[in-house]
Chain A
Amino acid sequence: GAVVSQHPSWVICKSGTSVKIECRSLDFQATTMFWYRQFPKQSLMLMATSNEGSKATYEQGVEKDKFLINHASLTLSTLTVTSAHPEDSSFYICSARGGLDYEQYFGPGTRLTVT
């Protein structure tokens, strides 16, 4: 099956700093990547959808200037949390979809803790 990786798997940063999370499709070309956030004991919340080479589409309530998404190639998308605050601490999960296969393949997730 298709494999999606995320890096880092966990990160701790100080309030006010920025942190970048990478999402890579390892064995397929991902025309679309999705970024989700999941708070403890809650379901997945879609943050944004990005198509390779174009601007991401953000869900209502998600600040595009705070959560910068770049999908510059068919195998890599990045999410940068700028000026992080403790309330941004969450589990961030990406998924990727490619070609004629409409299945979404999930990365293992990144746990962000902002102190």
Chain B
Amino acid sequence: GQNIDQPTEMTATEGAIVQINCTYQTSGFNGLFWYQQHAGEAPTFLSYNVLDGLEEKGRFSSFLSRSKGYSYLLLKELQMKDSASYLCAVRDSNYQLIWGAGTKLIIKP
């Protein structure tokens, strides 16, 4: 079966750095996505990785290791507005998105 695992909840302090991990087992791989979702809103795209390595975009970076079936989202200089759920999703061989359950990130002052 297809499976994506990420922690249910994490807590971090404003101004700090947090890393949200995601491991996956899917039938085929055509890229991994990270989305941010604030409560009551639809997901918004954060990053896309299809090759191994680190993709940096401002305060957010995403890393992928295809051989390990592993990715992480790194958030730097945390702000209160970063409090949200972060969803990891993998596109399988049929180009369908397989979703993780999401990680709720709580930022404390």
Kindly state the separation between the CA atoms of A34 and B102 in the bound complex, as whole angstroms: 19
Question: Are the C-beta atoms of B100 and A43 separated by less than 8 Å?
Answer: yes
Kindly state the separation between the CA atoms of A114 and B45 in the bound complex, as whole angstroms: 30
Interfacial chain A residues near B97, Cβ < 8 Å: 34, 46, 104
Interfacial chain A residues near B101, Cβ < 8 Å: 42-43
Question: Are the C-beta atoms of B40 and A91 separated by less than 8 Å?
Answer: yes
Interface of chain A, main secondary structure: strand
Q: Which range holds the interface residue count of chain B?
A: 10 to 19
Kindly state the separation between the CA atoms of A49 and B91 in the bound complex, as whole angstroms: 14
Question: Are the C-beta atoms of A44 and B41 separated by less than 8 Å?
Answer: no
Question: Are the C-beta atoms of A44 and B87 separated by less than 8 Å?
Answer: yes
Kindly state the separation between the CA atoms of A44 and B41 in the bound complex, as whole angstroms: 12
Interfacial chain A residues near B48, Cβ < 8 Å: 103
List residues of chain B with CB under 8 Å of any chain A CB: 30-31, 40-45, 48, 87, 91, 95-97, 99-102
